[in-house]
Amino acid sequence: MFILGQPGTGKSTLVKRLVTGAVATGTTPIILGDSKPDYSMLIEHLGGQVIRIGRGVDRINPLDSGPLGGVLRTLAGERAEVLRWEVRSRRLSLLMALCTLVRESRISNAEEVVLGRAVDLLDARSGDEPTVPDVLRVLEEGPDEIRSAARTDSAEAYRKQVSDLVFTLDLLCNGSLAGVFDAQTSRPLEMNAPAISVDISRVRAAGDKLLTAAMLCTWAYAFGMVDAAAALVDLEAAPRRAYMGVMDELWRALRGAPGLVEHADALTRLNRAKGMASIMITHSLADLDALATEEDRAKAKGFADRSAITVLAGLPPRELARVHEITPLTGPEQHLVTSWSAPDSWQPGARHPGRGKYLIKTGERLGIPVELSLVGAEKELYDTDQAIRAGS
C-alpha cells in the first residue's frame, strides 16, 4: 500500500486503524522507524513491544544477525550454508549502506571486497555477533587475510588502500552516529509480540543523517526477523505468521545519500513471498524527486508502481497529474481528491478540510471514497497533534 496526502489529512490515523485491525485479526504490525513518535502509545496499548533507539537508551548493532542467527544455530549442512550466506549478505549490505551515508558517496568495489573479508574473518573468529568497532579494529590491525583481499604487498600500500574506509568506519563509531550503532543490540525484537514499534524519535534532533541510519538499521533488523519466522515455518518449528511493515516518512530515509534507495528496494521487493505486507507513507511524489540521482528517483517511483493499493488523501491538482501517471484516475476521482486539499493560504492550526477522507484505489478499478470517524479510545491513541497543542 502506498499512501499519499498533504500534512494534516490523517495519513497516520488511517494507518493506526489498519494496525489495530491487523492485531485483532492475527497479523503482526512492525513500525519500521517511528520518528515523531506517532505509534508508540498505540503499540503499548495493544500489548506490543516498543524499542526506543538513541543515545543512552536502546542500541541496534547493524551487524547483528538477529533471529536469523538463532535459526542458523539450529541448522546443519546445505541449509545452514545457504542461510549463512544470507546473513553475510545482509550484514555487508547494511554496512555498505551506512558507509555510503556517512561518506555521502558510494564505496568502491575494492572497499566492498575488504569489508566482506573483514566480516568473514570476524564471523570465523568468535561466536559473538561482530560490531562496527570490531570491523574497524580488524582493518587497523591488517592481518594477512585482509591484506590479501586489498591486493597489497606492503604495510604502507595496505594503509593507503584502506585509509578512506578506516576513516569512514571511525565516523560510524565516533562521529555524529556515535553511541547508537557501535555496540551489541541492547533489546532484541520479540518474535511473538502482537505488534512492534521501533521508536527513533530520540535521534531525530541529531539530524537527517542519524535518522536515516536508524531507519536503515531498523528496516534490516525487522526484515531479518520476518525471514527468520519464514525459515522456522520451513523447518516446521513454528506456525506461519503474517506481518505488516509500516514505513512512515519514507522520503527522509531515502534522501540520505546516493544509492540508499537501492538498499531499501532490495529489502522490500520480496516481502510478499515471505508473508509481509508493507505500507509506505509520504506527502508527495515530489518528495522522491529530491533524491540525488535519476537512478534513485526511478527506483523510488517503483515503490508506488508495485503497490497493489494506493490511498490518496487531499492533494492539489498538480500532484494528482503525477499520480495519474502511476495510478490511472478518472476526472471525477481527481476532482474529489482535489476538493479535499487545503488552499495555499490554509491557516496554521486550523483543521485540514480533507482530514479523514481517502480514496482507495486498487489497480485501474474505480476508487472507493471513504471517511474515517474515530471511536472510543482511538480519539486519544490516534492523536498526532498532542505536541502541537502542548506547545501552543
At residue 209, does pLDDT exceed 60?
yes
Q: Report, as an integer, the average pLDDT of 200-217.
A: 78
Q: Report, as an integer, the average pLDDT of 212-229.
A: 83
Closest CA to 55 of 164, 219, 179: 179
The pLDDT of residue 369 is 97
**C-alpha cell read off for 361:** 484505489
**CA atoms of 370 and 63, how far apart (whole Å):** 43
What is the share, in percent, of the chain residues with pLDDT greater than 90? 38
| pLDDT tens profile 83-128 | 888 888 888 888 988 888 888 888 899 999 999 999 999 988 866 7
Phi/psi for 361 (5° steps) reads -115, 130
The pLDDT of residue 206 is 64
Q: Report, as an integer, the average pLDDT of 224-240.
A: 83
| DSSP-derived secondary structure for 264-308 | HHHHHTTTGGGTEEEEEEES-HHHHHTSSSHHHHHHHHHHHHT-S
DSSP SS3 for 360: strand
Q: Provide the pLDDT confidence category of residue 217 given band limits of 50, 70 and 90.
A: confident
**CA atoms of 312 and 29, how far apart (whole Å):** 21
Closest CA to 64 of 188, 210, 196: 188
**C-alpha cell read off for 148:** 590479501
At residue 387, does pLDDT exceed 80?
no
Closest CA to 35 of 243, 224, 260, 247: 247
Please, where are the H alpha helices in the chain? 11-24, 40-45, 66-72, 77-103, 109-125, 132-141, 144-149, 155-174, 201-204, 208-234, 250-254, 260-268, 285-289, 294-305, 317-326, 331-339, 378-381, 386-391
Of residues 384 and 162, which shows the higher confidence score?
A: 162
Q: Provide the pLDDT confidence category of residue 313 given band limits of 50, 70 and 90.
A: very high
DSSP SS3 for 34: strand
- How many Å separate Cα 365 from the centre of its chain? 30
At residue 390, does pLDDT exceed 60?
no
Q: Report, as an integer, the average pLDDT of 175-197.
A: 87
> If 0-12 CB within 10 Å is exposed, 13-18 middle and 19+ buried, where does residue 33 land?
buried
Of residues 355 and 300, which shows the higher confidence score?
A: 355
The pLDDT of residue 386 is 55
At residue 299, does pLDDT exceed 90?
no
Tell me the CA end-to-end span of the chain in Å, nearest whole number: 34
Give the C-alpha distances (Å, rounded to integers) separating 98 from 76, 81, 91, 233, 238: 31, 26, 11, 31, 33
At residue 61, does pLDDT exceed 60?
yes
Of residues 264 and 20, which shows the higher confidence score?
A: 20
**Domain spans of the chain?**
1-56+191-392, 61-184
Residues 177/213, Cβ–Cβ less than 8 Å:
yes
- Which amino acid is it at 333? E
Which CATH number is 1-56+191-392's, of 3.40.50.300, 3.40.630.10, 3.30.565.10, 3.40.50.2300? 3.40.50.300
CA 50-54-55 angle, to 5 degrees, is 140
Phi/psi for 223 (5° steps) reads -65, -30
The pLDDT of residue 269 is 63
What is the share, in percent, of the chain residues with pLDDT greater than 70? 90
Residue 3's beta-bridge partner residues?
A: 281, 311
